[in-house]
Structure 1
Amino acid sequence: MELESKTLVYSAIIALVLSMWGISMGVYTESGAIMLDGVFNLLSAVMAFIGIRIAYLTSQNYNDRFPLGYFAFEPLMVMVKGISILVLVAFALSANLQTLLAGGREPQIGMMLIYVVPAVAGCLLAWYLCFLSNQRQPSNLLLAEQQGWLINSVISGAIGVALLIVMLIQDSSFGWVARYVDQILVIVFSIIFLKDPYLLVRNGFKELLLSAPDAEHTVPFKKALSQQPLLAGFSLGEVLVMKTGRRFWVTIELVCQQPQLAVADMVAQRKQLRAIANQYYDNNYSEIVFIEACRTGHTS
């Protein structure tokens, strides 16, 4: 948990610095693309600071108010971040379409190029930190941060490439294109990256509704269970897997084939199945339910 929190702090600080740089340069150059980049960084900073608090909450014990813990806060924040990005993109599209239809705006190419280099460097640094941390400690929060920084790096880099192209053609017969470059960049970026915030919203919403996780999280585990020899008197029933943030909730039904079974066998079988769940899910709560012929009800 310490690694995740530290990474989110670093990410938030970098995002805050880049947002101040981007918004100030966006106002000075009147560039919609730079302003979009700056506001996106400000949003990333706010969400990263919130993520630090959520990372702390998910490490706490259960209580009477939250008997299943705080794990649902994680997909909730991921979903809110995705919605916020979609709203930001919608406003950016609207404003820049109006400017484009009104005849564009002459860009301050020199100042915009000055903005690009530190912006790209900062985004790549933050992305790399999130990538390394997510490799060592997988987390939805870190993955969302990593995806956000990747988007931001591409946007900032593309701004620089487009400006270099404009510098090459501005004295040619295509020089008139320069007035529209800024608006075209924002519109193209907005359309290209609609998929990522949409996936954040969709995945967060699925987890809040306790929908089954993707096959990559369930198929290997269920396959291992089906191949695991069980103790005499037991057979595998239904297997349910749910995911809420970093916590997996596993329910395994064991069918008792005999009317009477030793408690020691039931305990041993439960330990065996929980050990398999622990191999596939670092953070999980597993419940083993004994059904049918066994009259002891269920245990967990």
Structure 2
Amino acid sequence: MIIFDGLYSFISLLLSMLSLFISNFMSQKDVEKFPFGKHILEPLVISIKSLVILIMCLFTLVGAVKTIISGGNSVEFGLAIIYSVISVLGCGIISFYIKSKAKSLSSELLKAEFNQWLMDTILSAAVLVGFLIAIVLSASKFKFLNPYIDPAMTLIVSIVFLRLPIKTFMESFKEIIAVKADDEINEDIYVLVKEIEEEYRFEDSIARVSKIGRELRIEIDFVYNQNSKLKTLDQMDSVREEINDAMKHIKYNKWLNISFTGNKKWIV
């Protein structure tokens, strides 16, 4: 269990360094090389981090099963408890700090980083509780169970921890392949577009919205005809401004493209 906890912390540290490097790289403006921005890097890094943690959990799960089958192992509980207390405090402080930064920056990368360190804190706390239970058992008639406590905790924690990296990987992978944004954002923008369509008597409209990292990719197309109220370029820009202002409450960077056409084939 200590090896699993330490390995998880070490991998978390390496992945945090990767996140820091990518965050710094994303903050550097380079429009010539990246005309559409670097936001795709955020879900890409999160996917890599999730896969690494998932593989580690599977590896330790298999190792725990083998240890239980072979008769368990022995642990020096005094040193284990000292390690666990230090680990809980250290990981807890880091988790709290990252959570505060994630809120202020609205960064999916930092949110994933917080989840990763929160898991590490929970893991360290589970180690501490498990070893305290083992000390109690060692003074009872159930002391024969002590060799199995360490691998049993590792097995349970590995299984519990599998859920989060799988969920995080699936969410970040959806962003990589540009799946539509969540229903609340989609509904918000859809209602706005339909209101504009009715107001200016457009023949039809379509809105496409996907979320990539901290950015929303939004494409809106309006089809107008002779009955439409909008006729001039200035009026088109006015509609763009109106839509942009109406979406300011959505707390993401926005790549907004609004087009007007008289032929439906350009919006399909």
Matched, 1:151 2:119: yes
Structure 2: runs of 5 or more not aligned: none
Q: Tell me, in whole angstroms, the C-alpha distance in 1 between the residues paired with 2:182 and 2:126.
A: 33
After TM superposition, the structure 1 = structure 2 runs for residues 195-206 of structure 1, keeping only pairs within 5 Å, are 195-206=163-174
After TM superposition, the structure 1 = structure 2 runs for residues 232-271 of structure 1, keeping only pairs within 5 Å, are 232-234=200-202, 237-258=205-226, 261-271=231-241
Asked if the contact 1:230/1:269 (under 8 Å) is kept, the reply is no
Q: Tell me, in whole angstroms, the C-alpha distance in 1 between the residues paired with 2:76 and 2:63.
A: 19
Deviations 1:27-55 (A, max 9, x none): xxxxxx11111111111111111112211
Instruction: Please say which of residues 153-162 and 60-69 is displaced more in the overlay.
Output: 60-69
Asked if the contact 1:248/1:281 (under 8 Å) is kept, the reply is no
**Would the alpha carbon gap of residues 226 and 128 (structure 1) be closer, same or farther in structure 2, given more than 3 Å must change?**
farther
Q: Tell me, in whole angstroms, the C-alpha distance in 1 between the residues paired with 2:233 and 2:254.
A: 24
Matched, 1:272 2:246: no
Q: Provide the residue aligned with 1:45 in structure 2.
A: 13
Matched, 1:88 2:46: no
Q: Tell me, in whole angstroms, the C-alpha distance in 2 between the residues paired with 1:281 and 1:251.
A: 17
Q: Tell me, in whole angstroms, the C-alpha distance in 1 between the residues paired with 2:213 and 2:180.
A: 12
Q: Tell me, in whole angstroms, the C-alpha distance in 2 between the residues paired with 1:286 and 1:126.
A: 36
Percent identity for Structure 1 against Structure 2: 25
Deviations 1:275-295 (A, max 9, x none): 22333143111000112269x
**Would the alpha carbon gap of residues 221 and 118 (structure 1) be closer, same or farther in structure 2, given more than 3 Å must change?**
farther
Superposition deviation, residue 230 in structure 1: 6.2
Q: SS at the partner of 2:27?
A: coil
Q: Provide the residue aligned with 1:211 in structure 2.
A: 179
The higher relative CO (CA closer than 8 Å, separation ≥ 6) is in: 2
Q: SS at the partner of 1:241?
A: strand
Aligned residue identity for 1:122: G
Q: Tell me, in whole angstroms, the C-alpha distance in 1 between the residues paired with 2:93 and 2:189.
A: 35
Asked if the contact 1:81/1:200 (under 8 Å) is kept, the reply is no
Aligned residue identity for 2:72: G
Q: SS at the partner of 2:236?
A: helix
**Would the alpha carbon gap of residues 81 and 204 (structure 1) be closer, same or farther in structure 2, given more than 3 Å must change?**
same
Asked if the contact 2:192/2:243 (under 8 Å) is kept, the reply is no
Q: Provide the residue aligned with 1:112 in structure 2.
A: 80
Q: Provide the residue aligned with 1:21 in structure 2.
A: none
Q: Tell me, in whole angstroms, the C-alpha distance in 2 between the residues paired with 1:127 and 1:216.
A: 28
Q: SS at the partner of 2:96?
A: helix
**Structure 1 stretches of 4+ moved >6 Å:** none
After TM superposition, the structure 1 = structure 2 runs for residues 145-184 of structure 1, keeping only pairs within 5 Å, are 145-184=113-152
**Would the alpha carbon gap of residues 281 and 258 (structure 1) be closer, same or farther in structure 2, given more than 3 Å must change?**
farther
Asked if the contact 2:193/2:205 (under 8 Å) is kept, the reply is no
Q: What is the TM-score normalised by the length of structure 2? A: 0.90
Q: Provide the residue aligned with 2:43 in structure 1.
A: 75
Structure 1: runs of 5 or more not aligned: 1-32
Q: Provide the residue aligned with 1:282 in structure 2.
A: 252
Q: Provide the residue aligned with 1:23 in structure 2.
A: none
Instruction: Say what the alpha-carbon RMSD is for the aligned residues.
Output: 2.2
Q: Tell me, in whole angstroms, the C-alpha distance in 2 between the residues paired with 1:247 and 1:172.
A: 58
Q: Tell me, in whole angstroms, the C-alpha distance in 1 between the residues paired with 2:261 and 2:197.
A: 18
Q: Tell me, in whole angstroms, the C-alpha distance in 1 between the residues paired with 2:25 and 2:246.
A: 27
**Would the alpha carbon gap of residues 137 and 233 (structure 1) be closer, same or farther in structure 2, given more than 3 Å must change?**
same
Q: What is the TM-score normalised by the length of structure 1? A: 0.81
Superposition deviation, residue 171 in structure 1: 2.1
Superposition deviation, residue 224 in structure 1: 4.1
Deviations 1:34-82 (A, max 9, x none): 1111111111111111112211222233434322121111111100000
Asked if the contact 1:225/1:276 (under 8 Å) is kept, the reply is no
